[in-house]
Amino acid sequence: MTTEYSGGGDPKRSLEILWGVRERPRRGPKPKLTVAEIVRTAIAVADADGLDALSMRRVADELGVAPMSIYTYVPGKAELIDVMFDRALGELTAPDGVPGGWRPKLEHLARDNWDLYHRHPWLLHVSAVRPPLGPAVSAKYEFELRAVDGIGLTDVEMDSVVALVTGFAASSASVSVNAAEAERRSGMSDEQWWEAVAPFLEEHIDEAEYPLAGRVGAAAGQEYRGAVGPRHAFEFGLARILDGIEVLIASRRRPDGTRAPGDGPGAPGPGGARGG
């Protein structure tokens, strides 16, 4: 699937649409559509058939209007993807009410992102190195930072922790989504695939040459019932990441439990927004 890039259109036009500040016509008939309707339809198309199937014409057809009428509201596909991305991220929920401190809050963020990518796999094919700075993206970054505020990290470390956790969720979800897509396209489950390759391996592969691969691969395959175990890898990796963050936080404390000088939040800066 082709990778799309947020911010690939006119950034000003995208921001105007995202924040609802585009000037509306003062005269003429009442608009037949709204940006919200167009974006909902575009997301439904991408959910069903992927970003490669998304076009202004396809959205117009789904809405039963002429393609040119879509351009009255959204100038092009690039700006449409910016708004779709922001709206989809609006489904994420803040961890403010999660009890137990920073760790369960970060777990909530990671799992919420994992679930989002499974609902909208096309998000994994939008590169947000220049995130669309809409309401949802901005709110997401704010509540992510609240999850790690006041725990002894500098501002830059707070940003890095958020990027680490959400980036891991995205990469893990990509493996899971690809595994499901492989099964869908091939019409063959992982177990069926193993059954198909096992006779060849038993006949032609000398286990003595690959003793560790044979032993560990057999144990992992039995556990995952497939070549990979995306959910297991996600849970295992998330736990290890959080363990590492815990070590970092602990390293900033004195033996009496107080924080060492200079280990508080860093100086304020321009900041950013994590798109995914």
Both 82 and 172 in one domain: the answer is no
**E strand or H helix that includes residue 256:** none
DSSP-based three-state secondary structure for 259: strand
Both 84 and 56 in one domain: the answer is yes
| Inter-CA distances, 241 with 131, 174, 177, Å | 24, 18, 22
Establish if 211 belongs to a structural domain. yes
Phi and psi, residue 5, nearest 5°: -120, 120
In sequence order, what E strands does 152-270 have?
none
DSSP classification of residue 150: T
DSSP-based three-state secondary structure for 119: helix
Only one residue has tokens 């995306």, namely 230
Establish if 261 belongs to a structural domain. no
Distance from C-alpha of 180 to C-alpha of 50, rounded to nearest angstrom: 14
| Inter-CA distances, 228 with 124, 221, 260, Å | 19, 7, 43
Establish if 21 belongs to a structural domain. yes
Both 139 and 224 in one domain: the answer is yes
Question: Pick from 60, 89, 118: which residue ends a domain?
Answer: 89
Question: Pick from 35, 57, 89: which residue ends a domain?
Answer: 89
Domain count of the fold of the chain: 2
Both 60 and 122 in one domain: the answer is no
Establish if 259 belongs to a structural domain. no
Both 81 and 124 in one domain: the answer is no
Distance from C-alpha of 152 to C-alpha of 249, rounded to nearest angstrom: 6
Establish if 206 belongs to a structural domain. yes
Both 119 and 246 in one domain: the answer is yes
Establish if 115 belongs to a structural domain. yes
In CATH, what number is assigned to the domain containing residue 168? Answer: 1.10.357.10
What's the pTM value of the predicted model, to 2 decimals? 0.86
In CATH, what number is assigned to the domain containing residue 19? Answer: 1.10.10.60
Both 238 and 140 in one domain: the answer is yes
Both 106 and 180 in one domain: the answer is yes
Q: Which residue segment(s) compose the domain that 34 sits in? A: 4-89
Chain centroid, CA 214 distance in Å: 34
Both 136 and 228 in one domain: the answer is yes
Determine contact, residues 124/117, Cβ cutoff 8 Å: yes
Contacts of 264 (CB under 8 A, 6+ apart): 152, 154
Both 110 and 180 in one domain: the answer is yes
For Cα atoms 182, 186, 191, give the angle at the middle one, nearest 5 degrees: 80
Establish if 270 belongs to a structural domain. no
Low-confidence ranges of the chain (pLDDT < 70): 22-30, 254-276
Establish if 267 belongs to a structural domain. no
Neighbours of 55 (CB within 10 A): 16
Distance from C-alpha of 134 to C-alpha of 36, rounded to nearest angstrom: 14
Determine contact, residues 20/87, Cβ cutoff 8 Å: no
Q: What is the dihedral of CA 245, 249, 255, 259, to 10 degrees?
A: 180
Both 125 and 20 in one domain: the answer is no
Both 226 and 183 in one domain: the answer is yes
Among the listed residues 92, 117, 232, the one whose alpha carbon sits nearest the alpha carbon of residue 169 = 117
For Cα atoms 64, 55, 53, give the angle at the middle one, nearest 5 degrees: 105
Determine contact, residues 83/132, Cβ cutoff 8 Å: yes
Question: What pLDDT digit, counting tens, does each position of 181-223 carry?
Answer: 888 889 988 888 878 888 888 888 888 898 998 888 888 877 7
